[in-house]
């Protein structure tokens, strides 16, 4: 409160000072890659864990969430929403992510916040690039079987305002040669993702080495930032809609196809 002193006639100003908005308690996780990203946000701050994923994710996910909640001094009953990576990504990993998100949200009686898993990689790379007001990023992730999951995203931030992402190209499944040809017509400003590490010749026209940027290792930090922003923008949906984004029906090569690829 502010006190004004003059001739004794001044009145006490009882107008409350504006208080900063406290962040909601959010859970977030992504198991679509070989890295399991887990995060908890509470009014005390953000608590993150990046750990090995793959087959280990289904057994490690819930204990890791429990441990992070304890570190944050929070309880399951405090959770306002559950964020999860919906894909694209590994088939088993996506089933784990969506099933756990749905089960937790139904049990806690809260919404879910789905996040594009390729956008997590874009957010990682943006942070690695530093505080740029505008970033055009092509994301190319190894999809196995000689294919690539790819999407393209634009980050924009005006001075004094919070930045936001826009999807310029929704996630798709591409042959690397076809993606290189498509992006070469109007190349992204920057490129990132595991597909670029598979071969020195991958996407050379669309993503030459000077325009490639590492995504970094802080996947969980990028994830919780995206979930928090989406939650505040009203992106929460019913738990029953916690569905994976599958881009292919076939999840493995036959024995004959593997033999032919090895020739």
CB atoms within 10 A of CB 259: 10
d(CA 98, CA 141): 20
pTM of the predicted structure, to 2 decimals: 0.85
Q: What is the pLDDT of residue 223?
A: 98
For residue 8, what pLDDT is reported? 44
Q: C-alpha distances in angstroms, 255 versus 92, 144, 148, 203? A: 20, 15, 21, 28
Per-residue pLDDT of the chain (263 residues; tens, 9 = 90+): 333 334 444 344 444 444 456 789 999 999 999 999 999 999 999 999 999 888 888 899 999 999 999 999 999 999 999 999 999 999 999 999 999 999 999 999 999 999 999 999 999 999 999 889 999 999 999 999 999 999 999 999 988 788 999 999 999 999 999 999 999 999 999 999 999 988 778 899 999 999 999 888 899 999 999 999 999 999 999 999 999 999 986 444 434 334 444 45
**Contact between residue 32 and residue 89 where contact means Cβ atoms under 8 Å apart:** yes
Ordered by where they begin, the domains of the chain are 26-117+217-241 (3.30.420.40), 131-211 (3.30.420.200)
SS3 of 193, please?
Answer: coil
Please state, in angstroms and as integers, the Cα–Cα distance from residue 12 to each residue in 7, 40, 215, 246, following that order.
Answer: 13, 42, 54, 62
156 vs 132: CA distance, rounded Å = 8
pLDDT of amino acid 249: 64
pLDDT at 45 (0 to 100):
96
């Amino acid at each position: 409160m502010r006190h004004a002193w003059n001739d004794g006639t001044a009145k006490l100003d009882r107008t409350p000072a504006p208080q900063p908005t406290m962040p909601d308690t959010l859970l977030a996780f992504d198991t679509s890659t070989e890295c399991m990203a887990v995060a908890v946000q509470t009014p005390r701050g953000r608590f993150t864990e990046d750990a090995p994923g793959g087959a280990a994710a289904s057994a490690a996910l819930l204990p890791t969430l429990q441990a992070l909640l304890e570190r944050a001094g929070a309880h399951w009953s405090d959770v306002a929403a559950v964020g999860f990576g919906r894909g694209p990504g590994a088939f088993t990993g996506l089933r784990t992510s969506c099933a756990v998100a749905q089960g937790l949200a139904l049990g806690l009686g809260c919404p879910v916040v789905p996040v594009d898993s390729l956008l997590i990689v874009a957010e990682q790379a943006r942070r690695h690039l530093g505080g740029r007001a505008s970033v055009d990023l092509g994301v190319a992730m190894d999809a196995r079987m000689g294919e690539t999951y790819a999407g393209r995203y634009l980050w924009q931030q005006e001075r004094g305002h919070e930045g936001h992402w826009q999807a310029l190209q929704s996630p798709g499944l591409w042959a690397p040669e076809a993606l290189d040809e498509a992006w070469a017509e109007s190349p992204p400003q920057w490129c990132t993702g595991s597909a670029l590490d598979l071969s020195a010749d991958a996407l050379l026209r669309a993503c030459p080495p000077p325009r490639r940027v590492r995504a970094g290792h802080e996947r969980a930090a990028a994830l919780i930032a995206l979930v928090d922003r989406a939650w505040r923008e009203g992106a929460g949906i019913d738990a029953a809609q916690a569905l994976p984004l599958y881009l292919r029906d076939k999840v493995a090569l036959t024995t004959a196809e593997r033999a032919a690829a090895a020739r």
